[in-house]
Structure 1
Amino acid sequence: MSERSQLKRAVRQLRRIRSFYAAAMVLWAGSAALTSWQAAGSRQLTVCVALLAVFAALFVTVSVALRRLGVPATAERARRHATASTVSNAGGHAAA
């Protein structure tokens, strides 16, 4: 594999796992809110808040890693859309 393709793969995997961590943060934040409403100061609340903190730390770590790689999300999407439209227009039919 070339270095460029490995970088693309790493960025894709980091974005995917960042989405997972964001979903986990939402889940544990909701769970902590519900638990604090039902049983404030309980062990379950402590566990929910601890897991929320763990996933928040992981989310921040992945976000920093993506920023250090220096691949902005908007540039990647714009390039992908430009490539897709170029490929779809080259369908083999001549322009009239």
Structure 2
Amino acid sequence: MTVDTDTPARSSAARAEQGLRRMRVFYAAGTALWAASAAWTAWTHPGSRQMWVALLLLTVFVGLLGVTSRFLTASAPARRSPRAPYGRLVGATVRRAAVDATSWR
């Protein structure tokens, strides 16, 4: 059995993040599909059971898309901004710390 040493092993966190990025695309497509379905059903049969099911599934996909996007945003590494004074960190670290917008004064 040979081991391929040319490609570095990706960590499980990197694989999980890539999987979440793929699922985010799926959730965005599902959101668009169910939004179109809910709009069409509401136009043709307002107040019907099919309309409410489409709205329920739209809500589920919007929730899944939001949770996935929030998790990916929170797990993103902080980066230095070229426009921020003194190379202040921007990104997940600043959002979690809830830095006041006027703290630089």
Which TM-score applies when normalising by structure 2? 0.62
Pairs within 5 Å for 1:22-41: 22-41=28-47
Aligned-partner SS, 1:49: helix
| Cα separation, 2, equivalents of 1:32 and 1:21 | 16
Deviating 4+ runs (over 6 angstroms): none
Task: Work out the percentage of aligned pairs sharing the same amino acid.
Answer: 46
Aligned-partner SS, 2:47: coil
RMSD: 1.5
Kindly provide the CA deviation profile for residues 43-94 of structure 1, in whole angstroms up to 9, marking residues without a partner as x. Answer: 100000000000000000000110111158xxxxxxxxxxxxxxxxxxxxxx
Q: Give structure 1 stretches of 5+ with no counterpart.
A: 73-96
Name whichever structure is richer in helix by fraction.
1
Q: Give structure 2 stretches of 5+ with no counterpart.
A: 1-9, 79-105
Paired AA for residue 46 in structure 1: W
| Cα separation, 2, equivalents of 1:71 and 1:30 | 35
Paired AA for residue 29 in structure 1: A
Q: Give the Å deviation of 1:8.
A: 1.2
| Cα separation, 2, equivalents of 1:45 and 1:69 | 36
Which TM-score applies when normalising by structure 1? 0.68
Which residue of 9, 15, 24 maps to 1:9?
15
Partner of 2:55: 49
Kindly provide the CA deviation profile for residues 10-56 of structure 1, in whole angstroms up to 9, marking residues without a partner as x. Answer: 11000000000000000000000110111001110000000000000
Higher relative contact order (CA 8 A, sep 6+): 1
